[in-house]
Amino acid sequence: MRAPDWLTARPIAHRGLHDHARGIMENMPGAIRAAIAGNFAIEVDIQLTADNEAMVYHDDELGRLTEGSGALRTVTAAELKRVIFKSTPEKMMSLADLCALVAGRVPLVIEVKSHFDGGTDLVRRMAEVLSGYDGPAAGMSFDPDQVMAMRELMPSLPRGIVAERRYSKADWPEATSRQRAAMTHLRHGFRTRPHFVAYNVNELPALAPWIARNILGCPLLTWTVRSAEQRARAARHADQMIFEGFYPNA
């Protein structure tokens, strides 16, 4: 299976088309609506709750963008749906809420967050939700085990690996040294068999994504494009950008 053309057909809004200056926080409903209005694909993050629900949020813990505190995996979905984004009336969504909001109008690229503990409950819940969703969607993760779970549970879903050149203990404290080594240079590729790669824009060009793109035929997305220099680099070395902080059509 090859990645679908829609994956690279339009720029991908990183965590929705957010603008903190205007009170539109990342991954919240307003950012999703803004991306739909701009006809951009949408990248979002999902986290697992205490009751195995998939919630749309990037951080492992509450507090940076929301009211409250605590690790998401220790809180239920019902409790999280009452959490308010700071200085807004908006609340956190589940993946099912997101799908209902988008309703197939633009593509979704869903990043599965991981604690590198081998658990696959988040991918299992994602599979349940997407089994009833008709819109274009893809999944990806930094964790090869999560990509493997997508391959096993959702073989028809386009799946990708999110990657960069180095994985330090300081930046990836939950991953073991063996896991960090296995993530480098896309050496897990024959196991995960990704349909696309999403690579750090500041580390392009690089050999591993070049091989994936030019030899193996995997489309290359790049993240997170914020500046004119990064945009030019993305245009030279990748098939599409995951962007934030500007309006690509402006």
Task: Give the pLDDT confidence of 57-107 residue by residue, as tens digits.
Answer: 999 999 999 999 999 999 999 999 999 999 999 999 999 999 999 999 999
CA separation (Å) from 229 to 17, 44, 48, 202? 20, 24, 35, 10
φ/ψ region of 81 (left if φ > 0, alpha if ψ in -120 to 50, else beta) reads alpha
The beta-strand segments (E) located in 33-179 are 41-48, 54-56, 108-112, 137-141, 159-163
Query: Which helix (DSSP H) or strand (DSSP E) does residue 35 occupy?
Result: helix 29-37
Q: Which residues, including other chains, have CB under 8 Å from residue 19's CB and lie 6 or more apart? A: 34
The pLDDT assigned to 189 comes to 93
The pLDDT assigned to 249 comes to 78
Radius of gyration of the chain (CA): 17
For the chain, the average pLDDT equals: 96
pLDDT band of 250, cuts 50, 70, 90: low
Q: Does residue 249 or residue 116 have the better pLDDT?
A: 116
User: What is the residue type of 104?
Assistant: G
For 25-64, how does the pLDDT look when each residue is reduced to its tens digit (9 = 90+)? 999 999 999 999 999 999 999 999 999 999 999 999 999 9
Question: Is residue 146 within 8 Å of 118, Cβ to Cβ?
Answer: no
Q: Which of 216, 222, 218, 250 is nearest to 236 (CA)?
A: 222
Domains of the chain: residue spans and CATH = 5-243 (3.20.20.190)
Does the structure show a pLDDT above 80 at 1?
no
Instruction: Give bridge partners of residue 81 from the DSSP assignment.
Output: none
Does the structure show a pLDDT above 60 at 156?
yes
